[in-house]
């Protein structure tokens, strides 16, 4: 019984509760039982709440939760108890969602493997010797291992899409401004965007409907709420752009094969495949690291141990590295050469997408150049780690929505298809993802734990 309950999607769970197939108490105890068996092995939850009601969701530990310890994966916040909820959390609570736990993550959301947390490493449920991806490592692994119905994460340069891909779940980074950032422990404010990890695309749509919309506490949040429109039945009339730049050197052959097959499937479902070009892709990582490091160095200045938190000596090495890089880039005499230059290249990257979207409705390609890699493999070389985000960073710089959806396996490890859309056209991204999901069986594959 309990295994059945925990394998249901959010939409299925809501329906089963309405039909009174099981109670909210049964639902919570089924998930709590699974957590007690698997959490230690996987390193997913930092805090677990033993609720008896509500629909259990996991919340990434950079999203603040009233009266529940929130560490952002950092020793600097090892005893921080927020006095209020993030807007996204507040909105979920009004929908009968309960917080089952706070999920592990790279410190201050900085990392691509989950290994930068100060509170232990999260393992990939598909292979415990592999990384789950990051920085929303625990949220992705939690949904993959059925330890919660869905989870919230944050995506700054791929921190939702990449771990979703590596853990074989659906991950949505909404358009920048679609969802309020109020109550996120900020990493890079011009890029940070909360989003979801779910078992299906229909679930992503539901969560986005709940968490989106204007917020007086975030001036970048657009007033208009996400309203789901009629779902697509097939892909007739949809133009799918394939950027050649996402299939060049560095892309693993096994991943490429799976992605090409997924594109063929989209064509079979009625889509018209068009070649598009995103010529500034190769400059995205350099642009991104200057912009985020600069924003990080200012955002993390607030950690002065006066109002909250421990002393700055408690920063781990990745936050320190980024604070150093950003402080240097913004320091007198270097601003024009670094930050200003990067902001201009960002314009060119954004224009690449605008031009490409004249020829297509969505753009598809790989999320990650490889499947999940071995724990420890890239940790000593920050630059190599940064390069693993090559396909997710450009969309973040442009602020456009991106979905990672399971599309197959390479050597037993999940591969995600990335679907990118026009700014504020989250609906088409979800629509295409849903048609693909319903025509394939990938979501039914579960890790053996």
Partner 1 sequence: MLTKDQVRHVAKLANLSLDDEEVEKYSQQLSNILEYIEQLNEVDTSNIKPTFNVSDNVNVLAEDQIGTSLTQEQALANASVKKDDFFVTKGVFNE
- Of 117, 118, 135, 175, which residue is the catalytic one? 135
Residue number with CB closer to partner 1 (26 or 425): 425
- Of 98, 113, 136, 159, which residue is the catalytic one? 159
406: contact with partner 1 by CB under 8 A: no
- Of residues 208-227, those binding partner 1 (CB under 8 A): 216, 219-220, 222
The dihedral sign for the CA sequence 342, 344, 348, 349: positive
Specify the DSSP element, H or E, that contains 413.
strand 413-421
Tokens of 112: 């691509």
Residue number with CB closer to partner 1 (346 or 378): 346
* Among 404, 377, 406, residue whose Cα is nearest residue 391: 404
Contact window for partner 1 (CB under 8 A) among 19-27, 93-101, 311-319, 403-411: 311-319
Site string for partner 1, 129-168 (x = CB under 8 A): ----------------------------------------
Tokens of 239: 């133009």
69: contact with partner 1 by CB under 8 A: no
321: contact with partner 1 by CB under 8 A: yes
307: contact with partner 1 by CB under 8 A: yes
Q: Is 331 a catalytic residue?
A: no
277: contact with partner 1 by CB under 8 A: no
Pairing of strands 272-276, 362-366: unpaired
- Of 60, 130, 199, 265, which residue is the catalytic one? 60
Instruction: Report the SS3 class of residue 124.
Output: strand
List the strands of the sheet with 272-276, edge to edge.
45-48, 97-103, 55-60, 150-155, 193-198, 170-173, 402-410, 413-421, 362-366, 239-243, 272-276
301: contact with partner 1 by CB under 8 A: yes
| Pairwise CA distance, residues 423 & 19, whole Å | 38
Q: Is 60 a catalytic residue?
A: yes
Residue number with CB closer to partner 1 (409 or 423): 423
| Pairwise CA distance, residues 260 & 425, whole Å | 24
Is there a contact between 154 and 192 (Cβ–Cβ < 8 Å)?
Answer: yes
Instruction: Report the SS3 class of residue 416.
Output: strand
Contact window for partner 1 (CB under 8 A) among 131-139, 156-164, 237-245, 305-313: 305-313
Is there a contact between 356 and 242 (Cβ–Cβ < 8 Å)?
Answer: no
| Pairwise CA distance, residues 358 & 360, whole Å | 6
Q: In sequence order, what DSSP letters do the residues of 38-101 get, joined into one string? A: HHHHHT-EEEE---SSSEEEEEETTB-BTTB---TT-GGGTT---SS--HHHHHHHTTTEEEEE
Compute CA distances 312 → 206, 216, 256, whole Å.
Answer: 39, 31, 43
177: contact with partner 1 by CB under 8 A: yes
Q: In sequence order, what DSSP letters do the residues of 99-128 get, joined into one string? A: EEEEEP-SGGG--SSSTT-TT-PPPBTTBT
- Of residues 349-388, those binding partner 1 (CB under 8 A): 350, 382-383
Choose, by CB under 8 A, the member of 50, 128, 236, 305 that binds partner 1.
Answer: 305
Residue number with CB closer to partner 1 (349 or 403): 349
Q: Is 135 a catalytic residue?
A: yes
Q: For the purposes of burial, counting CB atoms within 10 Å of the CB of 278, is it exposed (0-12), middle (13-18) or buried (19 or more)? A: buried
Minimum CB–partner distance for residue 229 and partner 1 (Å) = 22
Minimum CB–partner distance for residue 389 and partner 1 (Å) = 14
Choose, by CB under 8 A, the member of 114, 399, 433, 447 that binds partner 1.
Answer: 399
Tokens of 177: 């401004």
409: contact with partner 1 by CB under 8 A: no
Contact window for partner 1 (CB under 8 A) among 51-59, 79-87, 156-164, 227-235: 79-87
280: contact with partner 1 by CB under 8 A: yes
Cis peptide before 135 (omega within 30 of 0): yes
190: contact with partner 1 by CB under 8 A: yes
Minimum CB–partner distance for residue 46 and partner 1 (Å) = 17
Minimum CB–partner distance for residue 333 and partner 1 (Å) = 12
Q: For the purposes of burial, counting CB atoms within 10 Å of the CB of 350, is it exposed (0-12), middle (13-18) or buried (19 or more)? A: middle
- Of residues 419-448, those binding partner 1 (CB under 8 A): 423
Specify the DSSP element, H or E, that contains 138.
helix 137-144
Size of the site for partner 1 (CB under 8 A): 58
Site string for partner 1, 82-101 (x = CB under 8 A): -xx-----------------
Catalytic residue numbers, as ranges: 60, 135, 159
Judged by the rule CB under 8 A, the positions of this chain that interact with partner 1 are: 79-81, 83-84, 176-177, 190, 216, 219-220, 222, 280, 282-283, 285-287, 289-290, 297, 301, 304-310, 312-313, 315, 317, 320-321, 323-325, 327-328, 331, 338, 340-348, 350, 382-383, 397-399, 423
């Amino acid at each position: 019984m309990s295994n059945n309950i925990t394998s249901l999607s959010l939409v299925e769970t809501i329906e089963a509760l309405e039909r009174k197939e099981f109670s909210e108490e049964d639902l919570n105890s089924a998930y709590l039982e699974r957590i007690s068996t698997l959490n230690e092995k996987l390193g997913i939850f930092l805090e677990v709440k033993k609720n008896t009601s509500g629909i259990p969701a996991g919340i990434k530990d950079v999203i603040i939760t009233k009266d529940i310890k929130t560490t952002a994966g950092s020793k600097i916040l090892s005893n921080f108890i927020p006095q209020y909820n993030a807007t996204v959390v507040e909105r979920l609570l009004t929908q009968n969602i309960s917080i089952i736990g706070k999920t592990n993550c790279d410190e201050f959301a900085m990392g691509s493997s989950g290994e930068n947390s100060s509170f232990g490493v999260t393992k990939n449920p598909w292979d415990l010797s592999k990384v789950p991806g990051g920085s929303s490592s625990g949220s992705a692994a939690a949904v993959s291992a059925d330890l919660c119905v869905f989870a919230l994460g944050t995506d700054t340069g791929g921190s939702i899409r990449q771990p979703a891909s590596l853990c074989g779940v659906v991950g949505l980074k909404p358009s920048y401004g679609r969802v309020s950032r109020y109550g996120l422990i900020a990493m890079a404010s011009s890029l940070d965007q909360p989003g979801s990890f779910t078992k299906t695309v229909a679930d992503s749509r539901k969560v986005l409907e709940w968490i989106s919309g204007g917020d007086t506490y975030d001036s970048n949040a657009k007033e208009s709420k996400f309203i789901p429109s009629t779902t697509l039945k097939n892909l007739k009339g949809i133009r799918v752009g394939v950027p050649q730049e996402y299939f060049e050197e560095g892309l693993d052959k096994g991943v490429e094969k799976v992605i090409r097959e997924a594109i063929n499937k989209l064509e079979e479902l009625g889509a018209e495949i068009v070649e598009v070009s995103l010529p500034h892709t190769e400059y995205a990582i350099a642009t991104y690291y200057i912009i985020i490091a600069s924003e990080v160095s200012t955002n993390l200045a607030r950690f002065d141990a006066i109002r909250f938190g421990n002393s700055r000596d408690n920063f781990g090495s990745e936050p320190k590295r980024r604070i150093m890089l950003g402080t240097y880039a913004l320091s007198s005499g270097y601003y024009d050469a670094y930050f200003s230059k990067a902001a201009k290249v960002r314009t060119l990257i954004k224009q690449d997408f605008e031009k490409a979207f004249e020829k297509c409705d969505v753009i598809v390609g790989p999320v990650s150049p490889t499947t999940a890699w071995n724990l420890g493999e890239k940790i000593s070389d920050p630059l190599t780690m940064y390069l693993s985000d090559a396909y997710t960073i450009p969309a973040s710089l442009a602020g456009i929505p991106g979905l990672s959806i399971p599309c197959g396996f390479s050597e037993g490890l999940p591969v995600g298809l990335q679907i990118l859309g026009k700014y504020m056209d989250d609906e088409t991204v979800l629509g295409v993802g849903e048609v693909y999901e319903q025509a394939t069986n990938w979501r039914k594959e579960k890790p053996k734990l």
